[in-house]
Amino acid sequence: MTDARLRGEWVSSMKFDNLSDKAWRIFTGALMWSAENGTDGFIPDRYSKRLHPDGSDIQAEWELSEAGLWEKTRDADGNKGMQLVDWDGALGQSLAIQVETYRANARGRSRRYREKERAKLAKSVGFTDESVTRDVTGDVTSEVRPHVGEGKGKGRGTGDVNDEVSLNEETGEVSIQGEPLWETVAIPSGKKCRVCLDALAADFPGDVCFRQDAAHVKARRARVA
């Protein structure tokens, strides 16, 4: 998308004030159409009807010619049309080559910025820049907590966390200073239900699971008896 410009001094200019509303709308439509299509102010005859909802208007087009805002001409390919006068001067618009140069420079700035940020990210997580590919997207550092350091020995990232970590070998529960980090289930002990052979927890009372079919009920009653 390319924006056309409406200069502030036009508000007090007699040249524009004397235009009819339809002529003014055709003129601004011509500015926008040419800027968007990169024609540097040239409007081919076949597209003039698109400059106003009611199509072409001979009287309004004559007004623009009398005001010196556009004139009949042909483009380099011989197509007839109207040329907005002094496109990149009095009208204050950008040439198509200027717009393309700006876009190319903007793409270059964006590419250099992404490469710089990728290098910073690689350095922050301990990778070389070559190991970080262009597929890295988003801010992957937003969830990094404070106190993350280099650690000691072969491991990295232990920082200054010195809390005592313990493992309950029976339940598999990991805790720091007695506080569990996550819920765990008991580690199977090798016990099995003697009816269906399903695995039972080490602390399961008895050797028949809680299923309520006839075989399990009978086995539990026999055990009690």
Strands (E) located in the chain: 42-44, 70-74, 80-84, 165-168, 173-176, 179-180, 188-192, 199-201
DSSP notation for 48-87: GGGGSTT---HHHHHHHHHTTSEEEEE-TT--EEEEETTT
pLDDT in the model for residue 142: 47
CA–CA distance, 124 with 20 (Å, rounded to integer)? 63
| Listed residue (192, 189, 188) closest to 209, CA to CA | 192
CA–CA distance, 1 with 99 (Å, rounded to integer)? 10
Residue ranges covered by each domain of the chain = 8-94, 97-131, 188-224
Torsion sign over Cα 12, 14, 18, 19: negative
- Residue-wise pLDDT for 135-154, tens only, equals 544 444 444 444 444 444 44
CA–CA distance, 110 with 91 (Å, rounded to integer)? 30
Domain 8-94 has CATH 1.10.287.130: no
CA–CA distance, 118 with 2 (Å, rounded to integer)? 30
Q: What is the pTM of this model?
A: 0.49
- Residue-wise pLDDT for 146-187, tens only, equals 444 444 444 444 444 445 556 565 555 555 555 555 555 555
CA–CA distance, 35 with 93 (Å, rounded to integer)? 8
- Residue-wise pLDDT for 110-139, tens only, equals 888 888 888 888 777 766 555 555 554 444
